[in-house]
Structure 1
Amino acid sequence: MVGRNKFYKLLHKHHLILKPARCRHTTNSNHNYFKYKNIAKGMTPTRPGQL
């Protein structure tokens, strides 16, 4: 019987194990680009295409 650690070492030795997936960050709110204010806040559109 082979233990878990020895089994993983064996897989790694023969390049049969995949690397764990990296955690990817998709949103960067701390950028240096100009941030526009929300001018539609508080408006209630009364007809289509008003905004």
Structure 2
Amino acid sequence: MTRRAPRYLSGRADRPRPRIEDTPGLPVPLLLASAAVVIATAGTALILWSL
């Protein structure tokens, strides 16, 4: 009974992930969403800090 390591534990990437490189429509909304989260957390922190 041989144990194979999971794909994420193997050192080499057998198949490149097609999420960010091959899909051009994905990184821009993801960057916008992360920027919105950062701005919202900074805004709430400033509002709570100014109270």
Question: Please, what TM-score do these two structures have when normalized by structure 1?
Answer: 0.29
The structure with higher relative contact order (CA 8 Å, sep 6+) is: 1
Which has the greater radius of gyration? Answer: 1
What TM-score does the superposition give when structure 2 sets the normalisation length?
Answer: 0.29
Structure with the higher fraction of residues in helix conformation: 2
